[in-house]
Amino acid sequence: MITMKDIIEEGHPTLRSVAEPVEFPLSDELRKTALEMHEFLVNSQNEEIAEKYDLRPGVGLAAPQINVNKQIFAVHIMEYDEEGNEVGPILSEIIFNPKVISHSVQQVALKEGEGCLSVNREVKGYVPRPKRVKFTYQDIDGNEHTLKLRDYEAIVTQHELDHLKGIFFYDHINEENPFAQDDNLELL
């Protein structure tokens, strides 16, 4: 299983490189790695397992973060009710060879900013990203899909898409004024 020691940190060259496309059918090894990436996210959001294996809860994980320079990322975004009980998956998928088709001019950013499991420090500031994004990808069996996402799901997905291009979230933060706002930016 993947644990925090498998996640490489900023400074490692893989995190600043462009990931390779994935060939289908997947090798058994790459299939296993992709499933383990998704399993890591599920485990990291499970209190007992996260506690037992000292996992930082995550909603997304890109293959370069475990030093696999392939165009793969997993996302696991769950809906919770007010008591914090899981209601169901909002988006839970393993994405291969994603291609952005279009995105909105309108931008969104998380009020609390972003973090990254590969960045062990806080970097304050808004990370402006397109509010809506449409992209195609292949699933673990190589089938093509098209997905249109908005708001939080779009932010998570674009954070992962950036990792496949060697981009960190803080590359998008306005250096002069990290909390700069304009009427094209909606804070979530």
Tell me the C-alpha to C-alpha distance, in Å, between residue 24 and each of 37, 79, 112, 179.
Answer: 18, 32, 39, 43
Contact stretch for ligand N9Y (CB under 6 A) within 25-33, 98-106, 140-148, 156-164: 156-164
Q: Say if residue 103 carries a ligand binding annotation.
A: no
Nearer to ligand N9Y, 17 or 143 (CB): 17
Of these, 68, 110, 116, 133, which contacts Ni ion (CB under 5 A)? 116
Enumerate the β-bridge partners of residue 89: 78
Of the listed 47, 160, 175, 186, which one is catalytic?
Answer: 160
CA–centroid distance for 44 within its chain: 14
Residue 160 annotated to the active site: yes
Q: Say if residue 159 carries a ligand binding annotation.
A: yes
Asked whether position 19 contacts Ni ion by CB under 5 A, the answer is: no
Q: Say if residue 163 carries a ligand binding annotation.
A: yes
DSSP secondary structure code for residue 45 in this structure: T
Of these, 2, 55, 62, 68, which contacts ligand N9Y (CB under 6 A)? 62
- Shortest distance, CB of residue 174 to ligand N9Y, whole angstroms? 17
| Antiparallel, parallel or unpaired: β 86-103 and 132-138 | antiparallel
Tell me the C-alpha to C-alpha distance, in Å, between residue 93 and each of 27, 37, 84.
Answer: 19, 10, 22
Q: Which residues are catalytic?
A: 160
